[in-house]
Amino acid sequence: MNSGRKTTGGRYKRPKKRKLTGRQNQARVVKLGENKTRVLRTRGGGQKTVMFQANKVNLVIKGKSKVVKITNVKETPSDTFLARQNILVKGAIIETELGRARITNRPSQEGNVQAVLIEKA
């Protein structure tokens, strides 16, 4: 019998070697707090700014943008438990100084928080 072969003559495939690209990153959860970001190296040598905590939002009101302070996370349609823990995700309804707003981007991926005003205070 040839080593590394089945009785039928077929080859056994070796398991693939572990690679750096196959590694998973630590989950990034953006919480309400003092701004905290980090720059990561991406595949191909680029850079990505990721966020861990945020207390300010780029709020769009009638086409104009304004930086406003976030006071609270009201609700999160995707998961009710995220709002209780003040976690910022896309689609979350947040309370700001100017009223309620909906987050339109993914803060953990982009390094900032963008939102649209939905209800004035």
For 18-50, what is each residue's pLDDT tens digit? 988 888 888 889 999 999 999 999 889 999 999
Residue 113 has pLDDT above 90, yes or no: yes
Residue 1 has pLDDT above 60, yes or no: no
Residue 2, pLDDT score? 66
* CATH no. for 26-120: 3.10.290.70
The SS3 of residue 82 is helix
Give the start-to-end residue ranges of the domains of the chain. Answer: 26-120
Find where tokens 């990034």 sit: 28
pLDDT tens-digit readout, 48-74: 999 999 999 999 999 999 999 999 999
- Residue 26 token pair: 């630590």
